[in-house]
Chains A and B, each alone.
Chain A
């Protein structure tokens, strides 16, 4: 029996979702902390310092490969599980329980995840990809602060970011608790605490992210 066997059953795949999900939660924290430097409103000095560290530190750059690897695993495994699970009931119920027995967002993780993925494609093509390309061609990083300021002058871009943050919040409300439940921590002793921290995390982090384009758009950060 190899670990591969253990990771191939339905619980094994659930563990893959849980562990990659927890990694992505840690990533969100770091990303949020770095970007929150813009709130100093110092013309991007502190933010660009932090961004420079993230863009050049060797440990961070190696972890970045892991991040993309885990992200892709989370997406592929999540979508494949959702499709397989859908096929387990070929004949749908004429009357369904709807929200009486479960929360809509817990049943909509694949949909919410897909919305986040669509947002990510736009987000990465606006900041991460041009910056890495710039580094590769000139050896220098872009000024990400001015890039943000310029991007967030367009209303529809801000609206897409708001939509992305809201999708992320709902995805996290179920995902945060679910990751710990999968690791076996959903006991009567810890469940309440995990759920509370999860809900707080799911509201606070996306809210901080959301404030960034909004404050740029309103010229509160300049």
Chain B
């Protein structure tokens, strides 16, 4: 593809903190290279703002390789922009043409309060993990890797679920602001392995209970999460979470360690 430069209008959400009301602000950027990533375009804008003595736009980012789950922009109505199975940092400016207007919003969910501008507080995810997204491992020497035989298919499915980077795009995309896809991925990758067995009867309930406490919405099987997930986490994981939950209800309703 031929390299080209473009001039763009950006409408970006500016918000001082979670207590104040935010609003859109318009910015013009010029000579943006089609080779740049979306975040590099934001770097150019921020350098421009700093040199003009204005406050730069706050946005989350870390690895810029599509694996850390920090970047989080809602671009023209799409979580992580229009490309499928892609993070904002891996969205490239060749998607846009000269003269385009791009609207950039933060993840919007009451469970993800805005910290500043495009940065939201996703620590609700951490508390969900603390509620059950762990396994009990005895200390001592690591055992031989193949001491526990695991089905190849199960290992692959577990790995696919574990590829969730916890970015929150599922919550951002869900009309109910539900975190079910995230919770289902985190339950699934442990439920598929023997290492996940000891907490199995309590994990699904405790994590779902924490999800509700955090103020995320409930899942109504719409599927926007799956469509927007940068890691292609499938709705099958939600079906598995539902099975784990029902299994716990039918067999382990007296299991110790259930929080309520």
Per the 8 Å Cβ criterion, residues 143-183 of A in contact with B are 174, 177-178, 181-183
Q: Is the CB of B254 within 8 A of A91?
A: no
Partner of B220, one of A1, A2, A14: A14
Query: Is A92 an interface position by the 8 A CB rule?
Result: yes
Q: Is the CB of B246 within 8 A of A107?
A: no
Cβ contacts under 8 Å, A181 to chain B: 221, 235, 238-239, 242
Q: Report the interface size for chain A: residues with CB under 8 A from the other chain.
A: 45
Nearest residue (CB) in B for A89 is: B177
**Contacts A85-B218, A95-B105 given: A2-B227 contact, CB under 8 Å?**
no
**Contacts A101-B173, A102-B227 given: A89-B109 contact, CB under 8 Å?**
yes
Q: Is the CB of A11 within 8 A of B74?
A: no
Query: Is B27 an interface position by the 8 A CB rule?
Result: no
The smallest C-beta distance from A126 to any residue of chain B, in angstroms, reads: 31
Main secondary structure of the interface of B (DSSP, over half): mixed
Partner of B218, one of A81, A92, A100, A186: A81
Partner of A95, one of B76, B208, B222, B241: B76
1/0 per residue B203-226: CB within 8 Å of A?
011001101100111111111100
Chain B interfacial positions (CB closer than 8 Å to A): 11, 22, 24, 74, 76-79, 103, 105, 108-111, 173, 175-178, 180, 204-205, 208-209, 211-212, 215-224, 227-228, 234-236, 238-243, 245-246, 248-249, 253-255, 258, 260
Chain A interfacial positions (CB closer than 8 Å to B): 1-3, 5-6, 9-11, 13-15, 81, 84-85, 87-98, 100-103, 106-107, 109, 174, 177-178, 181-188, 191
Can you name 6 A-B residue pairings with CB atoms under 8 Å? A10-B218, A11-B204, A13-B218, A101-B224, A109-B220, A178-B220
